[in-house]
Structure 1
């Protein structure tokens, strides 16, 4: 019973911290502010985490695992093109529905740069790029995507685009326009990758009226 209660307390701390880091970033909130946000005593908090980096790592791990699980759920789409579009749309939907998931990007960016390549905080880059590489290779093998594509370089470019899109959407609309930005990305990306793919929309950015 005591162990179960301790696990619930730890999970509650991690969830609260994930939301806080997603909103403020690593440097935008102090350890004392995190403790206050949980509504717990310092003793209860420090029983589980003795440092801000410790709780940040726990939040990063938990939300990365949750994100991977949600994006991996369900049956694979029939084509690589469909899978690519679905993955981008689903990702945008999840970031809007559960803002705490954004802490993976915020902490990965903040602490990944500080810790350097190979750190656990930068692992979200390798994980995401590897998933895109596999999808691109599938599309090339099926004849959907151009054979002259470099899967690794293209996957890294897609990842960079996605992270930049997230940042702009958060800055300019608190992610309210992320779905529209994602549709713009799909409309531009699919024809660029595909052997033959007519555009589905007449004007990129028409719904948002600009940047």
Structure 2
């Protein structure tokens, strides 16, 4: 029998109220008591709108990821050219501590690290998020290649993968060392990578 939430507005309230908890403490580290404290709702109210804690965690992940996508899209939309749009994906993470990301940072990194061996559903969600991001970057690069902004021999998938690996790796290093400057250095490296795949007659 399919689970049906009692109230979509209450369900959304629960998601927004607990999204930071799951992103900071993780699925395993977030207890039902934490959800009750964050929402000020009873166990019955929470489980009347979600089948179990995992369902809340998945919805919270989706919400956090949507917030990050909105931040990236808002930044990308500020620029007209393909080089600038591609670099904008990295610029979102520049001076990471000052960026209005979801509480706890990047949900892809957080969920991916935690769920690798513990939660297959969440791992798949994180994997889908990564693959979607890679696809978007590769498409952007291919559009730039078609308009001679990027070199014709550029491997779009490889470049997209490298950019994401640099961003996510930089986030992890910045978080562990608590140094936003480290992430800023990674962003500069991504800028250099974009320059290397660009046609010589093009400029930022």
TM-score bin (small chain): 0.7 to 0.9
Tell me how far apart the structure 1 counterparts of residues 122 and 11 of structure 2 sit (CA, whole Å): 29
Matching of residue 88 in structure 1 with residue 93 in structure 2: no
**Structure 1, unpaired ranges of 5+:** 201-211
CA RMSD, aligned part only? Answer: 3.3
2:149, 2:202 within 8 Å by CA — same for their partners in 1? no
Q: How many residues were matched structurally? A: 195
Matching of residue 150 in structure 1 with residue 145 in structure 2: no
Tell me how far apart the structure 1 counterparts of residues 146 and 109 of structure 2 sit (CA, whole Å): 31
Matching of residue 130 in structure 1 with residue 131 in structure 2: no
Change (3 A) 1:12 1:108: farther
Spell out, residue by residue over 1:136-174, the C-alpha distance to the aligned partner (whole angstroms, 9 max, x if none).
11222222222222111221121111111111122222x
Q: CA deviation at 1:108?
A: 4.0
Aligned to 1:209: none
Given the alignment, which residue of 186, 189, 204 partners 2:190?
Answer: 186
Q: CA deviation at 1:25?
A: 2.3
DSSP 3-state at the match of 2:9? helix
Query: Which region of structure 1 is more displaced relative to structure 2, 73-82 or 149-158?
Result: 73-82
Spell out, residue by residue over 1:82-127, the C-alpha distance to the aligned partner (whole angstroms, 9 max, x if none).
1112222135578831333623432244336642899334210111
DSSP 3-state at the match of 2:106? helix
Q: CA deviation at 1:39?
A: 2.3
Aligned to 2:3: none
Given the alignment, which residue of 160, 164, 182 partners 1:159?
Answer: 164
Query: Which region of structure 1 is more displaced relative to structure 2, 188-197 or 116-125?
Result: 116-125
Tell me how far apart the structure 1 counterparts of residues 15 and 95 of structure 2 sit (CA, whole Å): 22
Q: Which of the pair has the greater relative contact order for Cα pairs under 8 Å at 6+ separation?
A: 2
1:31, 1:51 within 8 Å by CA — same for their partners in 2? no
**Structure 2, unpaired ranges of 5+:** 1-5
Tell me how far apart the structure 1 counterparts of residues 170 and 96 of structure 2 sit (CA, whole Å): 15
Tell me how far apart the structure 1 counterparts of residues 101 and 36 of structure 2 sit (CA, whole Å): 21
Instruction: Please show how residues 33-182 of structure 1 align to structure 2 within 5 Å.
Output: 33-73=34-74, 75=77, 77-92=79-94, 96-100=99-103, 102-111=106-115, 114-115=119-120, 119-173=124-178, 176-177=180-181, 180-181=184-185
2:15, 2:56 within 8 Å by CA — same for their partners in 1? yes
